[in-house]
Structure 1
Amino acid sequence: MFKESKSRRVGAMNIVGQSVGRSSRMPLKYTDDDWDFNNRIKFRITDDQQKLAERIVAESKRVVDETKDTTQNWQREVEHHMKERTSEIKFLVDELNKQKKTALLEDEALSTYCNRIVHAINFLKEKSLEICQKCCIYREGRIGVDLVDDEVDRQLRQELKVTKGCLSLLDKTLKESAEQLRKLRAAMYLLDKDLGHKDKSLLIDQANLTLRQTQQNVRNQRELAIPKCVYSLSEWEHKTYTNIKDNAKELNSAKQLRAYVDILLKQVVEDMQNQTDRTNEAFEMRIEEMRHVKKMLEQKHSEIVNHISDVNRNLRQLESELSDREESLHLCMVRLSNRCQRPGLELTCDAVQKALNSEMRVLKDNICKLKKKIAENKASLRYLLHVQIMQEEEINIKANSLKIDEVDCMTIRRALRYQPF
């Protein structure tokens, strides 16, 4: 119909043009049908556009309601998941804080145990080892036969061996404790790092829960960057629980190490105290034995001095007797010499002559006996004086050994009192 009216309108224009000519043009005229047709077309177009607009408005209201409901549902869903997420993070944060608190307490306890080991090492080095070595050096100052490898020397060497063995064990345990402390602090570092990340994540999610689209700060944010997540939830959980597991493992190792240190320190104290008691007992027995020997030597020395006095007195008596016998012999010989001057037949071997000869023989025999006894007494005196000097030297040796063991060694060994480290 529209094409037909258009052709009729063109035909009319041609007719008008032909009748009027080029010099004058008449306005375009439409027929009644064109006018009716045009009105109906306009009404129809208007009705169509109104219906289309109504459908669009209705569809828009439906879409608005649907998007609003969808947005609200998703916001509620997101907030629900965010609340669950914050609860989960809070739970893990609490677990991490518990682990951290326990780790801090264990770190402090293990540090205290390290200090106990260091104190034990210092005591063994500055007291036990030094005193034992000093005693060995002091005992090298013994002289004579007292410089003997006795039970005290053997116990001192054993004490030195036990001390060095305990020091070796303590040094090894100190290194193990330091390494365990390092591992524990490394695990604590990972806990702190994870805890810091979770605290920050928790603050972000809690802040997101308070955000509303009507807030001004939300509206003002433009050009927001939305990076992609690079880790999965399983990786997140695995990393966190691995940190907790590793920290628990180091805590367990630290507790076991502390229990071992307790046993070790107790055993070190027992071993050192037992060996020190054995060494002190050997010292006491040696000192008592030395006192006894010194006392016996002093008694013998006193007896020797008495014997020397007796021999000197006897020697003086023998010499006096020898002098008397020599004078008696001289008298006898003078008498015999005088009788040799008798004249004639008077020079006879009478009873007097026989008695004088017998007296001279007896006196000579007695003088010989006296000289022999004097020689024996002088030899005995020399031996006694030698024995006296020997005993005095032995007494000095025993006094020196007694002074070394009782004064020098036992005085400093009183400091060896082992208490639990």
Structure 2
Amino acid sequence: MEFLGTTQTASYCGPKKCRAMSELSPATITQESYQPYYLPGYRHLNSWRPSLLYKVPSNQGCPNEGTVNRNALRPPTILPALRTALFSRYSRHDWDQATMAQIRGAETSRHWANKLTADSVRLMQDKDQLTQQMQDGTCRNLCQRLCDIGFWKSELTYELDRLMSENHALDTVKKRLECAAAEIESPLQVSLECLYHREKRIGIDLVHDSVEKNLIQEVDLLKCTQDQMKKLAERCDIQMRDNRDAQHTVERDLADKNSAECIDEKCCNLRNTSDTINFFHGVEKADGAVSVCETWAKFSDDNIRHSQDMRANSIRLREEAENLLEVSSDQIWKQFTNTNLAFSTRISEVTDVKNKLQLQLAKTMQEIFQMENTIMLLERAIMAKECPLKVVQTRLEHRSRRPNVELCRDIPHFKLVNEAFTIDDTLQTLKLRLCEAQDTLQLLVLTKNRLEHDLSVKANSLFLDKEKCMMMRKTFPCTPRLVGYT
């Protein structure tokens, strides 16, 4: 038996020994030359060494008995190269111990191998079960995610349909407003023509009477109604743009939901036997997510809420337009009737106008003074609103520079936008009122001049009122045309 390759030689056979084997006695060899020997791989065999040596034969036939025969100390051998190897052999006890150690080592190795095999099989089974459970849980989570995506898709689709219907309805109302505003142009020209003809009165007959008041009111009403319709049509156009922005946002979100649904459905259908699976090392470490479940749901909810707000604004705008069309039609008809009645009354009251004209002149002067004060106050009010408008627009411009997700449509943003629109509406209202005041002031000045010079010729006034004005006012647009239906 060999241990770890070849049999090791005794320590006295090495090249470092200076004395020859033949020069040592057996006792010297036994006591000095042998060193403790250890088998490789067996630490418990630490105190054994070869115990059997070749005995030295007696000095037979030696002429000098006191002299040791050096050749007799060497063991008989055939191969001179193996002489030193003969002294490194082991005993039978050593051989038995080495065999038992080898057997015990083999049994120990087999025991640990069997234990490791059982543990490995159990570990593989546990890991396979854990992997399968995790994969099943992931499939369930993907299915739940698909349900969530389907829910938001249905909500977005429903909201998109309603928004598109509302946008179409708002477009119809806008066209009605434009048609009604164009239809008002004809009676406005008639009213203006009446005023123009009445401007031809001579002297004291150029009076600011009830007919002229009604004509002015009619013109103001027609102009105001026309301006309101045009402005409302512009607001409808702006609201339609906002609706289209909300529609594009919802459509983009819906397209993203469709893409995410396709990807998650593809992931849910993947199995261990699928052909499209592959290794993507490091993909689990690269987190490119831009949202979490709460922000993901909130994003779609905000889009739907924004769309609902746009629809609510659109509905209010449509109701306002419908109300404006109906109210303006009634007011125009009433004003048209009142103006005609005023003309009839004016024709019958031509002779009894002098005192009324004097009183009207005084009232006109007072009204001019008040209107100038009103214009001055309106101009001051308009100038006072410019600084708050600059502040809110500056705030909005600064907040529009917020980066990335910080560009949030938060409550301050809504408040600032509402404040900006409110101040702008206030300015528009004040400017409109200033224009109306200036127009009224101009008309009052013209009326004053007419009251001073138009009391001389009554016949011309009767001719103008009866023959010129009333002949033109025999025709007037019907109600369906006034509300925008052609």
- TM-score range (shorter-chain normalised) is 0.5 to 0.7
Alpha-carbon shift at residue 94 of structure 1 (Å): 0.6
C-alpha distance in structure 2 between counterparts of 1:71 and 1:93, whole Å: 32
Match status 1:404 vs 2:468: yes
Equivalent position of 1:134 in the other structure: 193
1:418 aligned onto 2:476:
no
CA distance in 1 between partners of 2:206 and 2:349 (Å): 15
Distance apart, 1:10 and its partner CA: 6.9
Q: Which amino acid aligns with 1:34?
A: D
Q: Which residue of 1 aligns with 2:150?
A: 90
Cα distance in 1 for residues equivalent to 2:460 and 2:97: 158
Instruction: Report the equivalent of 1:45.
Output: 105
Rounded Cα–Cα distance in structure 2 between residues aligned with 1:233 and 1:198 = 14
* Residue number among 182, 206, 210 corresponding to 2:241 in the alignment: 182
What secondary structure, in the 3-state scheme, does the structure 1 residue paired with 2:277 have? helix
Q: Deviations over 1:12-58 (max 9, x none)?
A: 79999x94799743345333223322322222222222222211211
Preserved contact between residue 347 and residue 462 of structure 2 (Cα < 8 Å): no
Contact kept? 1:287, 1:405, Cα under 8 Å: no
Q: Which amino acid aligns with 1:262?
A: E
146, 153, 167: which one aligns with 2:226: 167
In 2, Cα distance between the equivalents of 1:39 and 1:63? 35
* Unaligned stretches of 5+ residues in structure 2: 1-37, 57-72, 351-456
Q: CA deviation at 1:285?
A: 6.5
CA contact (8 A) 1:287 1:402 kept: yes
- What is the CA–CA distance in structure 1 between the aligned matches of 2:329 and 2:475, rounded to whole Å? 16
**How far apart are the structure 1 equivalents of 2:329 and 2:311?**
27
Contact 1:146 1:401 in 2 (8 A): no
Percent identity between the two aligned chains? 23
Residue 339 of structure 2 corresponds to 279
Distance 1:13 1:402, change over 3 A: farther
Deviates more, 1:71-80 or 1:39-48: 39-48
| Residue number in structure 1 paired with 2:177 | 117
Cα-to-partner distance string for 1:374-398 (whole Å, 9 max, x where unaligned):
xxxxxxxxxxxxxxxxxxx999997
Once residues 55 and 340 of structure 2 are traced to their aligned partners in structure 1, the CA distance between those partners, rounded to angstroms, is 153
Instruction: Tell me if the contact between 1:82 and 1:205 (Cα under 8 Å) persists in the aligned partners.
Output: yes
Q: What's 1:255 paired with?
A: 315
Partner amino acid, structure 2, of 1:36: D
Find the counterpart in structure 1 of residue 295 from structure 2: 235
Whole-Å Cα distance in 2 between the matches of residues 199 and 63 of structure 1?
Answer: 42
Which deviates further from its counterpart, 129-138 or 6-15? Answer: 6-15
Alignment of 1:359-370 (within 5 A): none
Which residue of 248, 265, 287 corresponds with 1:206? 265
Letter in 2 for 1:211: L
Normalised to the residue count of structure 1, the TM-score between the two structures is 0.64
Q: Structure 2: which amino acid aligns with 1:184?
A: N
Q: 1:251 to 1:11 in 2, by over 3 A?
A: farther
Query: Does the residue aligned with 1:218 lie in a helix, a strand or coil?
Result: coil
Structure 1 residue identity aligned to 2:177: I
Whose helix proportion is higher, 1 or 2? 1
Give a deviation string over 1:138-190, Cα, whole Å, max 9, x none: 44456688766554433222211211221233244334333433333333233
Instruction: Note closer, same or farther for the CA distance 1:62–1:5 as it changes in structure 2 (3 Å cut).
Output: closer
Distance 1:36 1:268 in 2: 125
Write the distance in 1 (CA, Å) between the matches of 2:308 and 2:463.
65
Change (3 A) 1:14 1:192: farther
SS at match of 1:216: coil
Question: Do the aligned residues in 1 keep the contact of 2:198 with 2:461 (CA within 8 Å)?
Answer: no
Structure 1, unaligned runs of 5 or more: 291-392
Note the C-alpha offset of 1:103: 0.9
| C-alpha distance in 2 between matches for 1:122 and 1:11 | 134
Report SS of the residue matched to 2:283: coil
TM-score normalised by structure 2 residue count: 0.56
C-alpha separation in 2, matches of 1:4 and 1:174:
106
Question: Which deviations, in whole Å up to 9, do the C-alpha atoms of 1:206-238 show, x marking residues without a partner?
Answer: 11111012222203x444633323432222222
> Distance between the aligned counterparts of 1:34 and 1:187, measured in 2?
95
**3-state secondary structure, aligned to 2:317:** helix
Cα deviation, residue 286, structure 1:
6.7
Any conservation in 2 of the 1:96–1:244 contact (CA below 8 Å)?
A: yes
Q: Which amino acid aligns with 1:405?
A: C
TM-superposed CA distance for 1:277, in Å, is 2.3
Distance 1:15 1:194 in 2: 104
Q: Is the 8 A contact 1:144 1:397 kept in 2?
A: no
SS in 1 for 2:479: coil
Q: Name the CA shift for 1:283/1:114 in 2 (closer, same or farther; >3 Å).
A: same
- Opposite residue 263 of structure 1, the aligned amino acid is N
Contact 2:188 2:219 in 1 (8 A): yes
CA distance in 2 between counterparts of 1:111 and 1:58 reads 78
Contact 2:50–2:90 (8 Å) recurs in 1: no
Conserved 8 A contact 2:343-2:465: no
Equivalent AA in structure 2 for residue 417 of structure 1: C
Residue identity in the other structure for 2:469: D
User: 1:218–1:157: structure 2 CA closer, same or farther, 3 Å change rule?
Assistant: same
Q: Distance in 1 between matches of 2:310 and 2:54?
A: 107
Q: Is the 8 A contact 1:163 1:272 kept in 2?
A: yes
Alignment match, 1:225: 283
| Displacement after TM superposition at 1:3 (Å) | 5.8
Distance in 1 (CA, whole Å) between partners of 2:223 and 2:461 is 32
Deviations 1:282-314 (A, max 9, x none): 456778999xxxxxxxxxxxxxxxxxxxxxxxx
Partner of 1:25: 82
